[in-house]
Amino acid sequence: MRFTPHVTVATIVEDAGRFLLVEELADGRAVFNQPAGHLEADESLIQAALRETLEETGWEVELTAVTGIYLYTAPSNGVTYQRVCFAARPLRQRPDHPLDDGIIAPRWLTREELVAQPERWRSEMVLRCIDDYLAGERFPLSLIRTPA
């Protein structure tokens, strides 16, 4: 059996104690996730994070740091994901920007509001990334190397 992990990005966007989340449909239920998605061919991790955030929330953001690199195997399907999570600050909302299929809407929630609804997390990575961000985990964007 061939092991092929999926490379994904996620973005923690915080504003005044609220976090930009995506309410989306996954396996027939509405769940919360960070703006996140798969790395595409010929795309850097930074480009992927900016693109996914805009496509899923309609928000343009400025990436400020890397909060962590995570390995996660989904119990539902056994797929392993390598998630690179970025911290970002919101720049501007583009309310007319079309959102990806399956996205219900962007939502701004506090950590407490998210903790009160664990059944709505896409995975436990949602809270883990926020908690790492709140704990001050910040690595410079220069950690991410791109070809010269």
| 84-113 per-position pLDDT tens digit | 999 999 999 999 999 999 999 999 999 999
Q: Would you state the pLDDT for residue 64?
A: 98
Q: Would you state the pLDDT for residue 148?
A: 64
Percent of the chain with pLDDT over 90: 88
When pLDDT is averaged across residues 113-136 and rounded to a whole number, the result is 97
Query: How many degrees, rounded to 5, is the angle at CA 108 between CA 121 and CA 80?
Result: 30
The neighbour count for residue 125, using CB atoms within 10 Å, is 21
CATH numbers and ranges of domains, the chain: 6-139 (3.90.79.10)
Q: Would you state the pLDDT for residue 3?
A: 80
Strand 6-15 vs strand 103-109: parallel, antiparallel, or unpaired? unpaired
pLDDT at 1 over 90: no
pLDDT at 4 over 90: no
The closest of 1, 4, 16, 59 to 34, measured between CA atoms, is: 59
Number of H helices, E strands in the chain: 3, 7
pLDDT bracket for residue 73 (50, 70, 90): very high
When pLDDT is averaged across residues 68-82 and rounded to a whole number, the result is 91
